[in-house]
């Protein structure tokens, strides 16, 4: 089997025997409890104490009937009351401690799990996010983990107490009257068989519920982000149908489990009641035949109290079994995410970049494809000298964005290599490599926070003066200073409260703060007014100064000034040179150029 190593405690164990013993998703969670042996011990001890003390009361009742009432020894009454009160007090005190320790333990394990999941999410390559809708990922971390939490909180606590109670009660019953004890517990094998059958059937159904919930959440995410498009296309009716279809699937899958649960829990209840029937029938006979000498009335009343005490936890265990099936399905989805391989990661020999690189970038025979048999880049060779500007032009879908996304290693080439100052990018640690690269996207992404918070992503340690300088250099200070709250103004989700031109200038300021030797620009195709355009152009030129720049260029002004222009066609560089050289070649570039110059 293929194992991926992860930081954190939830990594699958590499040892064969261990995986065999602890292979289930719930076992993996339970195993993580063992990392806190003290809390485990305290929880178990207090549960044990609570249970044992609970077993005392039917015995005292028996004592009251047989030793106090029957012989008329009322002098024993005060002592009995005292023992009773003390036992109650101790039981509830221990119970309080059990709840406290138990929750402490479970919340800690849950926090560990959440953190492992989040840190894994941070490491997963972009490919994972391309294949899994964001809503589904979020639903795993919020919804699925909640189901695991429930089973950990209620399941382990009640499960342990239930089992302990059953063992204790069983022992008490055996001591009181073995035959009657076995008779009243006769339905147990039936209950076990029923539980097994239910477990089989419910797991599949629960997995379906979890999947459907993930799908619903993914849909909601999508439709909430696309709210403008829905309005534009007046698609509200259609969207309501799509929502209904998914919500209905959730309902149906839940109902299918609940129907099964209805049959299961009711039939288990019926079988369990048979135990009481056997007890009454045989107990009455014993009393009648023996005249209450060998098997006393006190014994019988203890039985009448103990038997329900046995079946109550059985009932609870059924409920826990139901929760466990739910949690198992949820935990599978959690571990599915936690075990997702990280495609792009540090080589064991990777070293950090400690000095500022000159910024020479080379592609050597780079091949890349997103899916097998569909080559996107085919044999790319190029060299970008430090501080030079490389413009990439070509028709849509030619592979321009793909080419530049290999530089920060969003993906790795399938063949060939990319080098920074002569060293393969894969020989550097990812974090320090990405620190050398600035990216300004076509429509930049801003986080839901203030302008200042967004700029600090460029450099965490930047002070107010540096932020202001960056904003000024990016020609963004004008509009930022006019905002009522200045740079503390919230930008909204993805920066929706700002115009495209404003977002671009903020992204430029953010890149200026980062001050990377290598820069990637995806020029905006959407047109802004000429004054803004001029501002952005100036800001960009300021940003490009002294940096090795790759620019996916649409504007002639940018292309003209580039040191080299690469014309990309179907994943290959078909022409390269300066603007004048390429115009003289009368090839593809000239065609593209002329198409742009033609009046519409
Ligand atoms: N994440 C992805 N998964 C699968 N295929 C992709 C992915 N991104 C791009 N592609 C495909 O790869 C090809 C090249 O895409 P790319 O985005 O690099 O083109 P481009 O030259 O930047 O085009 P444009 O000028 O329209 O931005 C396209 O056919 C596209 O469908
Ligand atoms: Mg593109």
pLDDT per residue over 419-473, tens digit each?
999 999 999 999 999 999 999 888 788 999 999 999 999 999 999 999 999 999 8
Element (H, E) at 543: helix 530-544
| Domain co-membership, 443 together with 501 | yes
Structure tokens at 87: 């036992």
Average pLDDT, the chain: 87
- The pLDDT value recorded for residue 358 is 94
Whether the pLDDT of residue 517 is over 50: the answer is yes
Split at pLDDT 50, 70, 90, the class of 20 is very low
Ligand 1: residue whose CA is nearest its atom 31 = 397
Which residue matches tokens 């355009």? 533
- The pLDDT value recorded for residue 589 is 85
CA 533 to chain centre: 41
pLDDT per residue over 167-204, tens digit each?
989 999 999 999 999 988 899 899 888 888 888 888 89
Whether the pLDDT of residue 2 is over 60: the answer is no
| Domain co-membership, 316 together with 270 | yes
Burial class (CB in 10 A: 0-12, 13-18, 19+), 456: middle
- The pLDDT value recorded for residue 22 is 45
Domain range holding 586? 361-597
- The pLDDT value recorded for residue 17 is 41
Give domain status of residue 347, yes or no.
Answer: no
- The pLDDT value recorded for residue 6 is 41
- The pLDDT value recorded for residue 32 is 81
- The pLDDT value recorded for residue 466 is 93
Give domain status of residue 66, yes or no.
Answer: yes
Split at pLDDT 50, 70, 90, the class of 10 is low
The mean pLDDT of 255-261, rounded to a whole number, is 93
400 in ligand 1 pocket by Cβ < 6 Å? yes
- The pLDDT value recorded for residue 504 is 87
Give domain status of residue 3, yes or no.
Answer: no
From CA 331, how far away is CA 327, in angstroms rounded?
A: 6
| Domain co-membership, 175 together with 53 | yes
- The pLDDT value recorded for residue 569 is 92
**Angle made by CA atoms 49, 50, 56, in degrees to the nearest 5:** 90
Report yes or no: 103 and 149 within 8 Å, Cβ to Cβ.
no
Tell me how long the chain is. 600
Structure tokens at 311: 């079946």
Ligand 1: residue whose CA is nearest its atom 18 = 399
Whether the pLDDT of residue 559 is over 90: the answer is no
Give domain status of residue 7, yes or no.
Answer: no
| Domain co-membership, 256 together with 404 | no
| Domain co-membership, 127 together with 61 | yes
| Domain co-membership, 518 together with 482 | yes
- The pLDDT value recorded for residue 392 is 94
Split at pLDDT 50, 70, 90, the class of 1 is very low
Ligand 1: residue whose CA is nearest its atom 9 = 402
- The pLDDT value recorded for residue 526 is 58
Split at pLDDT 50, 70, 90, the class of 362 is very high
| Domain co-membership, 394 together with 320 | no
Mutate to test the pocket of ligand 1, among 369, 378, 400, 525 (most ligand atoms within 8 A of CB): 400
| Domain co-membership, 311 together with 460 | no
Atom of ligand 1 nearest to the CA of 522: 27
SS3 string, 219-276, reads: HHHHHHHCHHHHHHCCCHHHHHHHHHHHHHHHHHHHHHHHHHHHHHHHHHHHHHHHHH
| Domain co-membership, 319 together with 397 | no
- The pLDDT value recorded for residue 56 is 85
398 in ligand 1 pocket by Cβ < 6 Å? yes
Report yes or no: 417 and 366 within 8 Å, Cβ to Cβ.
yes
The mean pLDDT of 33-38, rounded to a whole number, is 87
Whether the pLDDT of residue 11 is over 80: the answer is no
Give domain status of residue 232, yes or no.
Answer: yes
Q: How far is the CA of 399 from the centre of ligand 1 (A)?
A: 6
How many Å is the Cα radius of gyration of the chain?
35
Split at pLDDT 50, 70, 90, the class of 165 is confident
The mean pLDDT of 211-239, rounded to a whole number, is 90
From CA 514, how far away is CA 547, in angstroms rounded?
A: 12
From CA 525, how far away is CA 273, in angstroms rounded?
A: 75
Q: How far is the CA of 467 from the centre of ligand 2 (A)?
A: 30
- The pLDDT value recorded for residue 23 is 60
Give domain status of residue 19, yes or no.
Answer: no
Report yes or no: 1 and 19 within 8 Å, Cβ to Cβ.
yes
Residue with the bigger pLDDT between 277 and 27: it is 277
DSSP 3-state assignment of 573? strand
pLDDT per residue over 312-352, tens digit each?
888 888 888 888 888 888 999 999 999 998 888 898 999 99
From CA 76, how far away is CA 74, in angstroms rounded?
A: 5
Atom of ligand 1 nearest to the CA of 402: 18
Nearest to 148, CA basis, from 327, 389, 28, 308: 327
Atom of ligand 1 nearest to the CA of 130: 1
- Look up the CATH number of the domain holding residue 437: 3.40.50.300
pLDDT per residue over 42-84, tens digit each?
988 888 888 888 888 888 888 888 888 888 888 888 988 898 8
Q: How far is the CA of 341 from the centre of ligand 1 (A)?
A: 23
SS3 string, 43-100, reads: HHHHHHHHHHHHCHHHHHHHHHHHHHHCCCCHHHHHHHHHHHHHHHHHHHHHHHHHHH
Whether the pLDDT of residue 255 is over 90: the answer is yes
233 in ligand 1 pocket by Cβ < 6 Å? no
Split at pLDDT 50, 70, 90, the class of 219 is very high
pLDDT per residue over 366-400, tens digit each?
999 998 889 999 999 999 999 999 999 988 889 99
Give domain status of residue 356, yes or no.
Answer: no
Nearest to 165, CA basis, from 317, 310, 275: 310
Atom of ligand 1 nearest to the CA of 442: 27
From CA 300, how far away is CA 535, in angstroms rounded?
A: 93
From CA 457, how far away is CA 455, in angstroms rounded?
A: 5
Atom of ligand 1 nearest to the CA of 405: 18
Report yes or no: 327 and 150 within 8 Å, Cβ to Cβ.
yes
DSSP classification of residue 490: B
Atom of ligand 1 nearest to the CA of 571: 14
Structure tokens at 360: 């020479």
Element (H, E) at 361: strand 361-369
- Look up the CATH number of the domain holding residue 34: 1.20.1560.10
| Domain co-membership, 404 together with 438 | yes
The mean pLDDT of 492-502, rounded to a whole number, is 85
> Measured in Å, how far apart are the chain's first and last C-alpha atoms?
60
- The tally of CA atoms less than 13 A away on the side-chain side of residue 271 is 20
| Domain co-membership, 125 together with 82 | yes
374 in ligand 1 pocket by Cβ < 6 Å? no
Q: How far is the CA of 407 from the centre of ligand 2 (A)?
A: 14
Residue after which a domain boundary falls, among 283, 306, 338: 338
Which residue matches tokens 């209450």? 292
Whether the pLDDT of residue 156 is over 80: the answer is no
Residue after which a domain boundary falls, among 274, 305, 338: 338
Residue after which a domain boundary falls, among 338, 370, 405: 338
Number of structural domains (the chain) is: 2
- The pLDDT value recorded for residue 595 is 76
102 in ligand 1 pocket by Cβ < 6 Å? no
Residue with the bigger pLDDT between 371 and 526: it is 371
Give domain status of residue 2, yes or no.
Answer: no
- The pLDDT value recorded for residue 8 is 45
The mean pLDDT of 203-229, rounded to a whole number, is 90
| Domain co-membership, 431 together with 300 | no
Question: 361-369 and 415-420: which strand pairing?
Answer: antiparallel
Whole-angstrom CA distances from 197 to 38, 77, 264 are 36, 50, 9
């Amino acid at each position: 089997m293929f194992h991926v190593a992860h930081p954190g405690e939830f990594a699958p164990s590499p040892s064969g025997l261990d995986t065999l013993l602890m292979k289930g998703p719930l076992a993996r969670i339970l195993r993580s409890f063992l990392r806190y042996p003290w809390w485990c011990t305290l929880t178990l001890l207090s549960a044990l104490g609570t249970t044992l003390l609970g077993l005392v009361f039917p015995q005292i009742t028996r004592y009251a009937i047989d030793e106090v009432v029957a012989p008329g020894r009322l002098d024993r009454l005060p002592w009995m009351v005292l023992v009773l009160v003390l036992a109650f007090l101790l039981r509830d005190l221990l119970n309080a401690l059990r709840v406290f320790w138990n929750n402490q333990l479970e919340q800690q394990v849950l926090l560990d799990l959440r953190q492992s999941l989040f840190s894994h999410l941070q490491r997963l390559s972009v490919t994972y996010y391309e294949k899994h809708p964001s809503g589904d990922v979020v639903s795993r971390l919020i919804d699925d983990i909640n189901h695991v939490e429930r089973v950990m909180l209620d399941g382990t606590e009640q499960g342990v107490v239930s089992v302990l109670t059953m063992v204790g009660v069983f022992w008490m019953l055996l001591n009181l009257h073995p035959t009657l004890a076995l008779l009243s517990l006769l339905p147990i094998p039936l209950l076990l068989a029923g539980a097994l059958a239910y477990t089989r059937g419910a797991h599949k159904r629960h997995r379906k519920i979890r999947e459907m919930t993930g799908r619903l959440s993914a849909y909601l995410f999508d439709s909430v982000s696309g709210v403008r498009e829905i309005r534009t296309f007046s698609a509200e009716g259609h969207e309501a149908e799509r929502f209904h279809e998914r919500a209905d699937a959730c309902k149906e899958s839940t109902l299918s489990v609940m129907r099964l649960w209805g049959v299961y829990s009711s039939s288990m209840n019926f079988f369990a009641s048979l135990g009481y029937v056997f007890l009454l029938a045989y107990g009455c006979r014993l009393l009648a035949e023996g005249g209450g000498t060998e098997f006393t009335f006190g014994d019988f009343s203890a039985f009448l109290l103990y038997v329900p005490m046995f079946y109550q936890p059985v009932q609870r265990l059924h409920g826990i079994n139901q929760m466990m099936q739910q949690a198992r399905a949820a935990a599978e989805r959690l571990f599915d995410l936690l075990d997702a391989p990280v495609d792009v990661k540090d080589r064991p020999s990777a070293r950090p970049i400690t000095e500022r690189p000159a910024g020479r970038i080379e592609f050597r025979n780079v091949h890349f494809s997103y899916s097998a048999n569909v080559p996107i880049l085919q044999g790319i060779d190029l060299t970008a000298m430090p501080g030079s500007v490389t413009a990439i032009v070509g028709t849509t879908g030619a592979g321009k964005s793909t080419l530049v996304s290999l530089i920060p290693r969003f993906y790795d080439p399938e063949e060939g290599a990319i080098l920074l100052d002569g060293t393969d990018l894969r020989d550097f640690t990812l974090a320090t490599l990405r620190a050398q690269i600035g990216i300004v996207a076509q429509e930049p992404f801003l986080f839901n926070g203030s302008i200042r918070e967004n700029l600090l992503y460029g450099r965490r340690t930047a002070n107010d003066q540096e932020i202001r300088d960056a904003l000024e250099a990016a020609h963004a200070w004008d509009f930022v200073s006019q905002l009522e709250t200045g740079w503390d103004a919230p930008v909204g989700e993805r920066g929706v409260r700002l115009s495209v031109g404003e977002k671009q200038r903020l992204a430029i300021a953010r890149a200026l703060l980062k001050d990377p030797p290598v820069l990637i620009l995806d020029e905006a195709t959407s047109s802004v007014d000429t004054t803004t355009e001029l501002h952005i152009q100036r800001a960009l030129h300021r940003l490009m100064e002294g940096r090795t720049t790759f620019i996916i260029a649409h504007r002639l002004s940018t292309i003209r000034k580039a040191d080299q222009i690469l014309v990309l066609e179907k994943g290959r560089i078909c022409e390269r040179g300066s603007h004048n050289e390429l115009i003289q070649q009368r090839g593809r570039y000239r065609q593209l150029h002329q198409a742009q110059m033609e009046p519409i």
